Each structure stands twice: as structure tokens, then as C-alpha cells.
Amino acid sequence: MSEFDVIVIGAGPAGSSAAIKLAQGGMNVLLVERGDPPGTKNVSGAVLWGDELSKVVPDWERSAPIERYVTRKEVAFLTEKSKIAISYSSQDLMERKSGKIIVRGKFDQWLARKAKDAGAMLVTGITIDKLVIDGGKVIGVMQDGDVITSDAVIVAEGANPRVLINSGLRPKLSDHDVALGIKETIKLPENVINERFNVDSKGGYASEFVLGFLDDGILSGGFLYTNRDTVSLGIVASLDRLRANGMTHSYDIMGKFEEHPFIKNLIKDGIPDEYAAHLVPEGGLASMPKLYGNGYLVTGDAAMFTFSNGMVLQGINYAITSGILAAETILENKGKISEETLSNYVNKLRNSYVLSDLYTFNGIQNVTWSDFTQKTMPKILDSVMMSMFDERGMPKKHLMQVLSAAVKSNGMKYTELISSGYRMMRKM
């Protein structure tokens, strides 16, 4: 007889959502988190998109620590001296409350407490080393030489899947599998944020950036989200390119981003509060481990469930949904846990947006992490804008001619632009 029905490894969004669902279904659940309290090890901007959490915590927005709702969304290309942005502000976006800006430290603690309230046993400050496998079946977890037994284990350990690797259930990560995220939290008075970002006290600004000004082959995106009285500023950089360059450190990229003229003004007089680094799954289907086995299921970042197209970075919603679906699969198969019964988890993921998005956008990283998107596009756009708005008392040209000249001056052929642009539109 096992000590627990289910052990959940990691009290991030995936693990806590799974634990809530399992406890609500009457299961005896142990939720183990290495951070103390939960959230201390977690790094996201973060915007939580969607409303999946209401499936396990109805009316969750009433008690959740939501900083602001996204009312201004930007996507911007930065060159050395310019910013070319698409900015979307909408009252409808406010009414729909689709993007909730959260601070992970507060949010993860709140969600783990919900799991505890639902009846799960939450243990913090404990790191699980590996799964215990007996006769091909996972029968529990090992922590510092001790074995804790359970009928099933949900692996929700995040983007650095050491438990899976130590248990021989996935290969080590390569530089293609993950990117490196860095986030700084900067304190600014609430009224300054409202004025500077043109939002009211409930509304929020969220922007993704292409850092087209970086040199030496480095590829990196950036983000800036407004919390209530802090802003989250960060980068997500290609490990491949950092390694190939060998000279640039991730904090150099962060430094250049902070010093960019358009960012510098936004964070002026801010007081740095926190600085943290974390991996972000970026490899898509090719990096995904086996999602189930005899006695275990893999969820969230540990399963490499994220979506990033340069306009949004989403992972928290995928984590919550996969956690709930993993819990559902176990609840439906209580007393008959096997590899075969747990395989239904994959069907559930396929029928949800989680796996469906991963298949639809398979290979998108070849577009988002490309020199065309991150280097050539910003330069071409910058040249076009400059030609349009720099009045020199000369005869004006049609947009097509301006674009053609900009393409040429950036060392590209027009046909190359069309084919790269077409590939980009098809993948995004």
C-alpha cells in the first residue's frame, strides 16, 4: 500500500493546479516544492493569458494576486537608435481581462495555498532527486536517500528537468531545447507607471521586443510588463548563439537592453529590486520527452509546453491546463494506473490547445530565432520608416520603391525578402 495516491513534484502553476484537481477528487496528494515558500525559485514576466484556472478555482480572479490587466500590448523592433512598434490598446481587451499581469513569487504562493486548502499536503524546501522505478513501474520518489511511495507521480518540475534526466526518462537538455531568460524587477511609484505607460491603475502595459541592435550574432528577445508598483524587464536569449559567440554574457545583453534609449527612459529613477535567471523551453516537439509511462505523467515546462511567436510568450496557461489534464487522467483511472491507462493523457492534450498548438506551430523557432527576423527585418523597417519621415525637400517615392531601396541597402534581394516574409507569415 502506497503512502500517497499521487506525489506531485513542483508547486509551480502545473503542479499546484494538478494538486488542486486531485485533492478535489478526493485523492491523498503530496505536493513537494524545493522553494520555500513556493514561487521563490520561479521567474516569469509574467502575463498569465486566459482563464483555465477557473476550472479548478472558480472565481479565482477575486482572490488571486493580479497586479494589472493588459490594456496596452506592444510588439516592437529595436535597432540601435530606433523603435518600430505595433501598439494595440483596447477597451475590449480590458473588458475581456484576457492577460493578467502577475508576479510569480506572490502568485505561486497563492496557488499552492489553494492546493493546501483543497486538501493536498504541501511540503516546501525539499528537492526530489529522482523517481523510484521498480519492475518498470514508477512507485514513488527519492529524496536524499529516502523513498516516498505513491500510486502515481506527476512531474511538474519546470524547464530544468533534472528528475526526468536522473530517472533516465529524458536525455540531457541541449542548447536547442531551451533559451535563457533573465528578469529584473524595478520599483517605480504606481502613479509614475500609470503616467509613463499611459495606463490607469488597473490597466497594464505588456511589450515584447526584438533586440535587433545586438551584434556578434547574438539573438535575443526582450519584454517589459508593468506590475502595480514595479516593472518586470527581461530578455530571452538563444543559448546556441551565446555559446557560439563565447564572449558575450547574458547579463551584457540585459545591460544593453536597459541602456537602450527607449527603455532607459521607461525605467528612469527606478530602483532595482530583484534579478533572476531561468530557462525557457524553446525546442517545441523535437525537445518533448515521453509524456507518460507506467505510473507517471509529465506536465508544464518539464514537458516543454510553451508557445512563443515573438508577439507573446505563453507557458503558464499551458502548465495549468496540462496539470489539470494530468490530474483528470489519474482520477479517471484510480486503482488501475498503468502505462496504457495513463496514455489517455496524450489524447486529452491533443484535444486541448496544448498539443494542438505545439503541432500547429512546430518549427516556429526556426523563424523567431533567425537572423532574418531578429537582424534584417528591424534594419529594413528602420530604413523604410526613416525614408518616409525624414523630409528632405526631395520628390517623394512610392512605398514599393522605398521598400526596395531599403532591402537593397541592407544587402538583401527583393525575392529573398518575399520568400523569407512568406515563410514567416506561414509559421507565425
Ligand X SMILES: Cc1cc2nc3c(=O)[nH]c(=O)nc-3n(C[C@H](O)[C@H](O)[C@H](O)COP(=O)(O)OP(=O)(O)OC[C@H]3O[C@@H](n4cnc5c(N)ncnc54)[C@H](O)[C@@H]3O)c2cc1C
Residue numbers at the binding site for ligand X (CB under 6 A): 9-15, 32-35, 38, 41-48, 127-128, 156-159, 162-163, 181, 183, 234, 236, 278, 280, 300-302, 306, 313-317, 319
Q: How far apart are CA 37 and CA 20, in angstroms?
A: 17
Q: How far apart are CA 162 and CA 289, in angstroms?
A: 12
Specify the residue, 314 or 387, whose C-beta has the smaller distance to ligand X.
314
For the chain, report the end-to-end CA distance as a whole number of angstroms: 49
Specify the residue, 9 or 239, whose C-beta has the smaller distance to ligand X.
9
Q: How far apart are CA 12 and CA 108, in angstroms?
A: 6
To ligand X, the closest distance from the beta carbon of 323 in angstroms equals: 7
Q: Beta strand pairing status for 230-238 and 271-281?
A: unpaired
Which cell is 6 given? Answer: 499521487
Specify the residue, 302 or 337, whose C-beta has the smaller distance to ligand X.
302
To ligand X, the closest distance from the beta carbon of 208 in angstroms equals: 9
H/E segment holding residue 288: none
CA distance to 84, 331, 391, 394, per residue, from 384 (Å) = 10, 57, 13, 16
To ligand X, the closest distance from the beta carbon of 245 in angstroms equals: 20
Buried b (16+ CB within 10 A) or exposed e, 251-266: eebbebbbebeebeeb
Specify the residue, 41 or 256, whose C-beta has the smaller distance to ligand X.
41
Give every CB contact of residue 230 below 8 A, 6+ residues apart in sequence.
103, 185, 186, 187, 188, 273
Give every CB contact of residue 96 below 8 A, 6+ residues apart in sequence.
none
Q: How far apart are CA 142 and CA 130, in angstroms?
A: 5
Specify the residue, 12 or 293, whose C-beta has the smaller distance to ligand X.
12
To ligand X, the closest distance from the beta carbon of 144 in angstroms equals: 11
To ligand X, the closest distance from the beta carbon of 307 in angstroms equals: 8
Q: How far apart are CA 55 and CA 38, in angstroms?
A: 21
Q: How far apart are CA 130 and CA 6, in angstroms?
A: 15
To ligand X, the closest distance from the beta carbon of 421 in angstroms equals: 27
Specify the residue, 282 or 382, whose C-beta has the smaller distance to ligand X.
282
Q: How far apart are CA 321 and CA 54, in angstroms?
A: 11
Q: How far apart are CA 333 and CA 193, in angstroms?
A: 50
Specify the residue, 83 or 100, whose C-beta has the smaller distance to ligand X.
100
Specify the residue, 127 or 343, whose C-beta has the smaller distance to ligand X.
127
Radius of gyration of the chain (CA): 23
To ligand X, the closest distance from the beta carbon of 330 in angstroms equals: 17
To ligand X, the closest distance from the beta carbon of 168 in angstroms equals: 15
Q: How far apart are CA 254 and CA 259, in angstroms?
A: 9
To ligand X, the closest distance from the beta carbon of 280 in angstroms equals: 4
Specify the residue, 42 or 194, whose C-beta has the smaller distance to ligand X.
42
Q: How far apart are CA 22 and CA 163, in angstroms?
A: 21
To ligand X, the closest distance from the beta carbon of 58 in angstroms equals: 21
How far from chain centre, in Å, is Cα 320?
12
To ligand X, the closest distance from the beta carbon of 334 in angstroms equals: 24
Give the DSSP letter of residue 376.
I
- The interaxial angle of helices 344-351 and 353-360, nearest 10 deg, is 70
Specify the residue, 100 or 379, whose C-beta has the smaller distance to ligand X.
100
Q: How far apart are CA 76 and CA 310, in angstroms?
A: 9
Specify the residue, 125 or 363, whose C-beta has the smaller distance to ligand X.
125
